[in-house]
Amino acid sequence: MLSNTYHRFAGSNLERLAALSDGIFAVAMTLLVLDLHVPSIEPPGGAGPLWAAGAWHAEHALWSALVGLAPRVLVYLLGFLTLGIFWIGQQTQLNHFERSDRRLTWIHLAFLLVVAVMPFSTSLLAEYTALRVALLVYWLHLLMLGALLLASLRYAARAGLIRDDGPATAGMRAAAERRIVVAQALYALAVVLGAVSTYLSVGLIIALQLNSALAPRIRPLDRY
Amino acid sequence: MLSNTYHRFAGSNLERLAALSDGIFAVAMTLLVLDLHVPSIEPPGGAGPLWAAGAWHAEHALWSALVGLAPRVLVYLLGFLTLGIFWIGQQTQLNHFERSDRRLTWIHLAFLLVVAVMPFSTSLLAEYTALRVALLVYWLHLLMLGALLLASLRYAARAGLIRDDGPATAGMRAAAERRIVVAQALYALAVVLGAVSTYLSVGLIIALQLNSALAPRIRPLDRY
Amino acid sequence: MLSNTYHRFAGSNLERLAALSDGIFAVAMTLLVLDLHVPSIEPPGGAGPLWAAGAWHAEHALWSALVGLAPRVLVYLLGFLTLGIFWIGQQTQLNHFERSDRRLTWIHLAFLLVVAVMPFSTSLLAEYTALRVALLVYWLHLLMLGALLLASLRYAARAGLIRDDGPATAGMRAAAERRIVVAQALYALAVVLGAVSTYLSVGLIIALQLNSALAPRIRPLDRY
Amino acid sequence: MLSNTYHRFAGSNLERLAALSDGIFAVAMTLLVLDLHVPSIEPPGGAGPLWAAGAWHAEHALWSALVGLAPRVLVYLLGFLTLGIFWIGQQTQLNHFERSDRRLTWIHLAFLLVVAVMPFSTSLLAEYTALRVALLVYWLHLLMLGALLLASLRYAARAGLIRDDGPATAGMRAAAERRIVVAQALYALAVVLGAVSTYLSVGLIIALQLNSALAPRIRPLDRY
């Protein structure tokens, strides 16, 4: 009885859930990049004007070192895009909720746990882009993020936590659900192609995320 | 006289206390995971299709390395669950407070200090799961978090900082206090069993935290 | 149709965009400094009163080590000034927006991606201040930050997302655009001088940022 | 003219300044602790029950390693207390401001820069507690934090940015100013005693911070 009272009030504050989410997304998005280390070149050189003898040599060494970081930068771009897409996905849901409850809060905490692990799985993919295991781990994270957003939507609908904005509400929810399912099906397809080449998979996933970010551009994909 | 005026206004803003708390929890929750390092395998290999000769070898090496991280992942899961539980516990309290004052703010700053140390004690437990000293340090953190939330509740009640929501208020407070005390008694029991095996203790604490997160499932525990 | 409904609502919450921005700026501003490592001196010494024999020796060793950090500190100061300037620039824009939409949100996410990379490019410049490549990378970041703020302003105007505050609105927008363009022109000029000496460039950029922070002091620059 | 319009609006949002501040304080408070590394002991041992042969040996090794961290923990405690005190000081000011302007925002950004450097100077003091140079660097940070809060208060008063809460306002401001000045005088005194022993200085500063946190306990100090 009394503990029911506790459960009824615990975790009901949507604003603080949103604030915690923004904080975790902000830290994860920044830590993604933290793994980019300044390369060390030998000798550092420089300091003279550009037309001094040997000035171009050190410049070239640093340039090559930076170009060598490019594939890694691409994977981090993917990591940032992914976090951005799911941040928008989550905030769109939260905007439509009337309030939260304990269970919905835990669904979102599980979602945030996966978000917090993204820098790890992104680093793993950056380090071992050629290996399917790294790709599968990354995909598993995408899958969990999608599944948890879907779970949040369904639970909120069942528990009556969604704000009723008139006739549009049911359509919105169906559209949001379809969107998650279609995106997940496309991610899965991209990962299956990893049997041939993981680079193909990563390229496809980046293309899907870019489409989602720049949407609605590819009409056939936008119908869902 | 004048300084009383200062003390009356200092630290009275609940919203900023909540924002600082969300920030510290967000950073701590993300840093927990930061200690998970991408394993290095030798040779990295890969890049060919999955049916190429030797393709499975590198995959297997990475897979084994990741499986080796599993116990550590479990301890981090425990760390995240613990932070999630105390985040909900704190925000439930703050939601019921009318305003803060200087002393209540310092109780919560002490609480946040312990939260900020959690990545350290979680790492310690992940590294030395077999040692009682690591378990005791972790438990001491759990104890301090519980004790500080209890102190916050009692001080706020005494200082008249709790919002009066009618007859439910006193019951709520009693339920919240009982909840903290029961949880702490169960943690203490789990730690005592660490004399036999620390793995048993850690398993039990994970079970308790999961029950708290997925509650109310185990009826007998939910009465408190 | 349905997906249009989704796009109409997705990412429309300005407050959460502001919160995510504040989080990313906060982490980036703090991580800038994280790269400042405590120097190690040999032997550590100390502990006696200042008039004990040899007491000044260890003091002097630490002092020299800290003085050696000075150029690096200057570059970090530049990094902080830059982030501060763009933080003010972004919040001034967001304050004048009525709401956001999906596309505007992605423009700001791209802006935040560049912000998150700033600790890397600042470290690069601190490590290789004498090399043009490091300077160019830093300048590219400045350019992207300016270009994205400009894109945000123009897109918001075209999409009708700017709050109408009467006749001042159009003047405000023109002033903000001119401000970005003039600042970028001055940055570009400073970078061109890097052909002679990168130290000259960095010094000039620091001077420009200081002027922007302490503005309006230099009258001729303030007309824009 | 136009640029005046820009300056009038730039940086006027107190809420976002508060959010950025909370973020930077949260990250700095958590990073303080990040420097506490899990000690490594040899051999790790453990896993048997507590009465197994040799079980106490590994426990003792970890215990000793942790005890060795104690002085460092004390300095971190000082770091956290200091950040807590200045966080309360800043938020008390912001609560009383009507709005911000560009210059006030930059005063607070400078304040936040010093806050972001605190993990560095705290680490420095933890590493070289016996050296006056480390103590002076730490004190310089305390001095700058106090000076910037004082500057913020005076500038806000002069620029008419303080909310008028009736006759109490002027008294409040005088009390806050006196508080900062007295605290700084006591810090300076503690640092001068560092000529004899830096441990004495650090102990005194910890005592002052604890008094400030637990205030008002020491009556003579509370009159200011």
Report the SS3 class of residue D131: coil
Across D112-221, the runs of DSSP E, i.e. the strands, are none
* Helix boundaries (H) for B35-167: 55-68, 70-96, 102-127, 132-158
What string of H, E and C letters represents the secondary structure of chain C? Answer: CHHHHHHHHCCCCHHHHHHHHHHHHHHHHHHHHHCCCCCCCCCCCCCCCCCCCCHHHHHHHHHHHHHHCHHHHHHHHHHHHHHHHHHHHHHHHHHHECCCCHHHHHHHHHHHHHHHHHHHHHHHHHHCCCCHHHHHHHHHHHHHHHHHHHHHHHHHHHCCCECCCCCHHHHHHHHHHHHHHHHHHHHHHHHHHHHCCHHHHHHHHHHHHHHHHHCCCCHHHHCC
A55 and A160 housed in the same domain:
no
C61 and C157 housed in the same domain:
no
**C-alpha span between C111 and C215 (Å, rounded):** 24
A113 and A205 housed in the same domain:
yes
* Residue D3: per-residue pLDDT: 42
C149 and C168 housed in the same domain:
yes
Average model confidence (pLDDT) for chain C? 84
C124 CA: distance to closest CA in chain B (Å): 23
Which of B27, B30, B34 would best serve as a mutation to test chain C binding (most C beta carbons within 10 A)? Answer: B27
Torsion of CA C94, C96, C99, C100, to 10 degrees: -40
* Residue D5: per-residue pLDDT: 47
Which residues, 6 or more positions from C195, have their beta carbon under 8 angstroms from its beta carbon? Answer: A49, A50, C132
pLDDT tens per residue across span B19-56: 999 999 999 999 888 878 888 887 655 556 666 666 77
φ, ψ of residue C97 in degrees (nearest 5): -85, 145
Task: Find the residue in B nearest to D169 (Cα).
Answer: B5
D61 and D164 housed in the same domain:
no
Nearest to D19 among B7, B19, B199 (CB): B19
The residues of A whose Cβ lies within 8 A of any Cβ of D are 23, 26-27
Is pLDDT above 70 for A158?
A: yes
Which residues, 6 or more positions from D20, have their beta carbon under 8 angstroms from its beta carbon? Answer: C22, C25, C26, C87, D112
Classify residue B120: in a domain, yes or no: yes
Whether B106 and D214 lie within 8 Å, measured CB to CB: yes
**C-alpha span between A223 and A211 (Å, rounded):** 13
* Residue D194: per-residue pLDDT: 85
D42 and D118 housed in the same domain:
no
Is pLDDT above 70 for A162?
A: yes
Which of D51, D88, D115 would best serve as a mutation to test chain B binding (most B beta carbons within 10 A)? Answer: D88
Classify residue B43: in a domain, yes or no: no
Classify residue B204: in a domain, yes or no: yes
φ, ψ of residue B162 in degrees (nearest 5): -85, 135
A108 and A214 housed in the same domain:
yes
For residue B91, the chain A residues in CB contact (below 8 A) are 11, 13, 16
Instruction: Give mean pLDDT, residues C28-42.
Output: 84
A119 and A13 housed in the same domain:
yes
* Residue A4: per-residue pLDDT: 45
Q: Angle at Cα B91 formed by Cα B100 and Cα C27, nearest 5°? A: 90
Q: Which domain holds residue D44?
A: 37-68
What is the domain count for chain D?
A: 2
Nearest to D131 among C46, C89, C222 (CB): C46
Which of C20, C51, C69, C92 would best serve as a mutation to test chain D binding (most D beta carbons within 10 A)? Answer: C92
Whether D13 and C95 lie within 8 Å, measured CB to CB: yes
* Residue A43: per-residue pLDDT: 60
β partners of residue A162? A97
Write out the two tokens for C165. Answer: 């505050």
For residue A20, the chain D residues in CB contact (below 8 A) are none
**Distance between start and end Cα atoms, chain B:** 45
φ, ψ of residue D161 in degrees (nearest 5): -100, -5
Whether C34 and D197 lie within 8 Å, measured CB to CB: no
Rounded to the nearest 5 percent, the helix, strand and coil shares of chain B are: 75, 0, 20
The amino acid that residue D138 corresponds to is: Y
For residue A62, the chain C residues in CB contact (below 8 A) are 128, 131, 133-134
Is pLDDT above 60 for A68?
A: yes
Nearest by Cα to B182 from B223, B140, B136: B223
D163 by Cβ neighbours in 10 Å (0-12 / 13-18 / 19+) ranks as exposed
For residue A216, the chain C residues in CB contact (below 8 A) are 3-4, 7
Q: Which chains sit next to C, with 3 or more Cβ pairs under 8 A?
A: A, B, D
Residue bearing the bigger pLDDT, C77 or A37:
C77
C16 CA: distance to closest CA in chain B (Å): 13
pLDDT tens per residue across span B81-117: 999 999 999 998 998 888 888 889 999 999 999 999 9
**C-alpha span between D6 and C171 (Å, rounded):** 9
Task: Quote ipTM for the complex.
Answer: 0.89
Task: Find the residue in A nearest to B22 (Cα).
Answer: A20
Q: Please state the separation of Cα B143 from the chain's center in Å.
A: 11
pLDDT tens per residue across span D164-223: 766 667 777 888 888 899 999 999 999 998 888 888 999 999 988 888 887 654 444 444
Rounded to the nearest 5 percent, the helix, strand and coil shares of chain D are: 75, 0, 20
D58 and D142 housed in the same domain:
no
* Residue D2: per-residue pLDDT: 38
B23 by Cβ neighbours in 10 Å (0-12 / 13-18 / 19+) ranks as buried
Which of B24, B41, B88 would best serve as a mutation to test chain A binding (most A beta carbons within 10 A)? Answer: B88
D135 and D211 housed in the same domain:
yes
Q: pLDDT category, B80, cuts 50, 70, 90?
A: very high
**C-alpha span between D175 and D180 (Å, rounded):** 9
For residue D19, the chain C residues in CB contact (below 8 A) are 18-19, 22
Among C50, C68, C86, the domain boundary falls at: C68
Whether C44 and D102 lie within 8 Å, measured CB to CB: no
D166 CA: distance to closest CA in chain A (Å): 33
Instruction: Give mean pLDDT, residues C56-84.
Output: 88
A140 and A77 housed in the same domain:
yes
**C-alpha span between B184 and B173 (Å, rounded):** 17
D166 and D200 housed in the same domain:
yes
Q: What number of other Cβ atoms are within 10 A of residue D23's Cβ? A: 31
The stretches in chain D having pLDDT less than 70 are 1-11, 43-54, 165-168, 215-224
* Residue C48: per-residue pLDDT: 66
Gyration radius (Cα) of chain A, Å: 22
Classify residue B108: in a domain, yes or no: yes
* Residue B223: per-residue pLDDT: 44
**C-alpha span between C94 and C152 (Å, rounded):** 10
pLDDT tens per residue across span C141-193: 999 999 999 999 999 988 888 887 666 677 778 888 888 999 999 999 999 98
**C-alpha span between D61 and B119 (Å, rounded):** 21
* Residue D74: per-residue pLDDT: 87
Angle between helices D132-158 and C55-68 (to 10 degrees): 50
**Distance between start and end Cα atoms, chain D:** 45
HSE-up of residue D135 (Cα within 13 Å, Cβ side): 28
